[in-house]
């Protein structure tokens, strides 16, 4: 390939301009962009709910909104952010765009199924938005029985169907990735030559296909139970609410890893590209993704420590929860070791990667506090938990997503973004994030419970800090939105490989042509080889 400076004449973006050429496209790159726009819309919708929550919590009394409204706000925040932003974010946008290119294929194995998954996602989103505007849901994003069965009079069926439907979009995405990685790899591209991002997406896909059907049937049963008065989870009808919690967390705990594993894959790419070194311990990082996926399925009981689960079951779940720390720590140590003697540059994607490593470490370690049976009884359902999972979800997953979006933006659009603004936004997000959520660790440890519109006056100072941080964080999210849109016209042309990084995606023009490669590439070494193979011992 010649290193073309400037966009090639025909690429996936200018290959047809009509609405039909987008809405009926089977090109994985265009579908990735469809997802990018729709999840961004849901991100700002979920962010709006978060802002309302933080405004209400500015004062101890329930004065900005009524408690009923507050219940709906935190429920919709959770539902939208988890099911419509975090779960599809990296897989459906970056994964869709990159997995076929990284394995040297023209497209995913099932392009039509890929497009179908986007329509299913939108249909589920419409159901959820209808539920939100016609009255809202107040069960919490977990839909616990009996809140969701007999106690709630809100639009649980509608929101439940929204979650049910959108679940199939992630099942289809996972199915597509698994088949693509197994069957579409270019000649010579063996498993251990694959980019670590692909390994992470593969592990994520395994969770998607094994976990999502279970929550689909569970939420469907809740809807049927409400609609037809069947006694499945509602104790008043003879059902068992704990069974709901088991079935719900059997998916929803692994779903946490659906959100974090792709971000880990992105960070593995970023660390290599901006330290200009092969990853330290490639196979350990690759297998730790699979280990997280497998162990992640065995820990759901740690959400039920105080729900009446037997102590022995609690002990086992506590122990297995500790095990998840091992593959997670392997990744953190290996990223850090990769930096050693690397030629580290401080471009904005790398700043996000550094942010990820630090914040994920805090989020992960506080997870160990919560996995400890005795500690959990003290901290269960407090703001400590809120802070813990926001460090993993926002500090981890969103930092990974933004880092990846910045890193591959030149590939996706063919344009650079303003680096100064990007660094400023990253710093802004980092400061805003920590100011929002660090006080919540303290106030949670002091005993402030989650999910109440009112709180004791002595907690106010922490809540004021938190709301101030949320405002900074909100501004931080708006800045990239603005300069990314601006960059489409105003920014300098990126060229094929602006970072000097390795990988098949950097060997094709930016933006890539519709067919990705003019012919199937033949791969002769690991795709991320920053040193001669004999020195690092990778075949």
Partner 1 sequence: MPEWPSQYHPPPVAIHRAGHGDTGTPHHPWLQHHFDNMAQQAEASTLGMWVFLVTEIMFFGGLFMAYIVYRHQSPEGFQEASSELNRVWGTINTLVLICSSLTMALAVRAAQTSKSAKAQVGWLLGTIVFGLAFLGIKAIEYYDKFTHNHVPGPHFHWEGHFPKPAEQFYSLYFAMTGLHALHMIVGVGIMTVIAVLAWKKNFDEEYYTPVEVAGLYWHFVDIVWIFLFPLLYLIGGHFKGA
* Binding-site ranges for partner 1 (CB under 8 A): 1, 105-111, 113, 171, 175-176, 178-180, 182-184, 209-214, 216-218, 221, 224, 228-232, 238-240, 243, 246-247, 276, 497, 500, 502, 504, 507-508, 514-515, 517-525, 527, 529
Using the structure block, give the residue that is written with the tokens 């099911």: 83
Taking the least distance from each CB to partner 1, the nearer of 376 and 505 is 505
Q: What token pair was written down for 396?
A: 């981890």
Shortest distance, position 474 Cβ to partner 1, whole Å: 36
Using the structure block, give the residue that is written with the tokens 């002091």: 446
Shortest distance, position 297 Cβ to partner 1, whole Å: 11
Taking the least distance from each CB to partner 1, the nearer of 20 and 489 is 20
Cα–Cα distance for residue pair 412/12, rounded to 1 Å: 10
Taking the least distance from each CB to partner 1, the nearer of 74 and 250 is 250
Cα–Cα distance for residue pair 388/366, rounded to 1 Å: 6
Shortest distance, position 389 Cβ to partner 1, whole Å: 24
Taking the least distance from each CB to partner 1, the nearer of 134 and 343 is 343
Shortest distance, position 109 Cβ to partner 1, whole Å: 4
Cα–Cα distance for residue pair 264/198, rounded to 1 Å: 11
In terms of Cα–Cα distance, which of 241, 139, 256 is closest to 208? 256
Length of the chain: 539
Contact 325, 332 (CB under 8 A): no
Contact 414, 511 (CB under 8 A): yes
Contact 484, 33 (CB under 8 A): no
Shortest distance, position 486 Cβ to partner 1, whole Å: 25
Taking the least distance from each CB to partner 1, the nearer of 239 and 327 is 239
Taking the least distance from each CB to partner 1, the nearer of 19 and 228 is 228
DSSP-derived 3-state class of residue 521: coil
Taking the least distance from each CB to partner 1, the nearer of 67 and 500 is 500
Shortest distance, position 146 Cβ to partner 1, whole Å: 16
Contact 134, 53 (CB under 8 A): no
Taking the least distance from each CB to partner 1, the nearer of 52 and 184 is 184
Q: What are the φ/ψ torsions at residue 449 (nearest 5 degrees)?
A: -80, 155
Q: How far is CA 108 from the centre of its chain?
A: 21
Taking the least distance from each CB to partner 1, the nearer of 148 and 218 is 218
Shortest distance, position 433 Cβ to partner 1, whole Å: 32
Taking the least distance from each CB to partner 1, the nearer of 18 and 518 is 518
Cα–Cα distance for residue pair 259/392, rounded to 1 Å: 9
Q: Is the peptide bond before 275 cis (omega within 30 degrees of 0)?
A: no
Shortest distance, position 206 Cβ to partner 1, whole Å: 10
324-360 in b/e form (b: 16+ CB < 10 A) is: bbebbebbbebbeebbeebebeebbbbbbbbbbbbbb
Q: What token pair was written down for 434?
A: 């920590």
Cα–Cα distance for residue pair 224/230, rounded to 1 Å: 7
DSSP-derived 3-state class of residue 382: strand
Which helix (H) or strand (E) element contains residue 212?
helix 196-228
Shortest distance, position 208 Cβ to partner 1, whole Å: 9
Contact 225, 232 (CB under 8 A): yes
Taking the least distance from each CB to partner 1, the nearer of 106 and 378 is 106
In terms of Cα–Cα distance, which of 350, 326, 327, 188 is closest to 277? 350
Q: What token pair was written down for 524?
A: 């002769």
Shortest distance, position 186 Cβ to partner 1, whole Å: 9
Taking the least distance from each CB to partner 1, the nearer of 105 and 261 is 105
Shortest distance, position 522 Cβ to partner 1, whole Å: 5
Shortest distance, position 4 Cβ to partner 1, whole Å: 13
Taking the least distance from each CB to partner 1, the nearer of 388 and 502 is 502
Cα–Cα distance for residue pair 328/444, rounded to 1 Å: 25
Q: Is the peptide bond before 3 cis (omega within 30 degrees of 0)?
A: no
Shortest distance, position 282 Cβ to partner 1, whole Å: 16
Q: Cα torsion for 48, 50, 54, 56, to the nearest 10°?
A: 70
Residue 41 makes CB contacts below 8 A (sequence gap 6+) with none
């Amino acid at each position: 390939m010649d290193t073309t400076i400037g966009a090639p004449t025909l690429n996936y973006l200018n290959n047809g301009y009509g609405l039909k050429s987008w809405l009926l496209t089977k090109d994985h790159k265009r579908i990735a962009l469809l997802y990018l726009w729709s999840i961004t819309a849901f991100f700002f919708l979920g962010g709006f709910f978060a802002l309302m929550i933080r405004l209400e919590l500015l004062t101890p009394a329930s004065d900005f909104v009524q408690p009923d409204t507050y219940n709906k706000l935190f429920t919709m925040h959770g539902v939208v952010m988890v099911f419509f932003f975090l779960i599809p974010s990296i897989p459906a946008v970056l994964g869709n765009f990159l997995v076929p290119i990284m394995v040297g294929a023209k497209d995913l194995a099932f392009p039509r199924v890929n497009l179908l998954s986007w329509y299913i996602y939108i249909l589920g989103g419409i159901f959820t938005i209808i539920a939100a505007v016609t009255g809202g849901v107040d069960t919490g994003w977990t839909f616990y029985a009996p809140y969701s069965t007999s106690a709630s009079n809100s639009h649980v069926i509608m929101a439940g169907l929204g979650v049910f439907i959108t679940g199939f979009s992630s099942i289809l995405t996972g199915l597509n990735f698994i088949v693509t990685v197994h069957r579409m790899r270019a000649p010579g591209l063996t498993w251990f030559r694959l980019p670590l991002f692909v390994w992470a997406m593969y592990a994520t896909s395994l969770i998607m296909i094994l976990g999502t059907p279970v929550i689909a049937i569970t939420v469907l049963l809740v809807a049927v139970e409400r609609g037809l008065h069947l006694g499945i989870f509602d104790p008043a009808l003879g059902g068992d609410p704990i069974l709901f919690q088991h079935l719900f967390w059997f998916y929803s705990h692994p779903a946490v890893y659906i959100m974090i594993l792709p971000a880990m894959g992105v960070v593995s790419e970023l660390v290599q590209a901006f330290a200009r070194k092969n990853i330290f311990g490639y196979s350990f990082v690759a297998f730790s993704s699979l280990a997280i996926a497998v162990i992640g399925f065995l820990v759901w009981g740690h959400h039920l420590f105080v729900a009446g689960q037997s102590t022995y079951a609690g002990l086992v779940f506590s122990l297995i929860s500790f095990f998840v720390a091992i593959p997670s720590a392997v990744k953190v140590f290996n990223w850090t070791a990769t930096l050693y003697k690397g030629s580290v540059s401080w471009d904005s994607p790398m700043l996000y990667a550094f942010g990820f490593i630090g914040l994920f470490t805090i989020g992960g370690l506080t997870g160990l506090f919560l996995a400890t049976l005795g500690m959990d009884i003290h901290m269960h359902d407090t703001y400590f938990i809120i802070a813990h999972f926001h460090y993993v979800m926002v500090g981890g997953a969103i930092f990974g997503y933004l880092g990846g979006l910045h890193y591959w933006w030149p590939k996706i659009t063919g344009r650079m973004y303003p680096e100064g603004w990007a660094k400023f936004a990253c710093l802004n997000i980092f400061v805003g994030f920590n100011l929002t959520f660090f006080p919540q660790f303290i106030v949670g440890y002091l005993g402030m419970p989650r999910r109440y519109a009112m709180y004791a006056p002595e907690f106010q100072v922490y809540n004021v800090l938190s709301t101030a941080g949320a405002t900074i964080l909100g501004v931080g999210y708006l800045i990239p939105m603005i300069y990314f849109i601006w960059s489409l016209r105003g920014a300098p042309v990126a060229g094929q490989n602006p970072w000097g990084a390795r990988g098949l995606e950097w060997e094709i023009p930016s933006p890539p042509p519709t067919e990705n490669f003019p012919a199937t590439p033949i791969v002769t070494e690991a795709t991320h080889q920053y040193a001669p193979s004999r020195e690092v011992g990778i075949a």
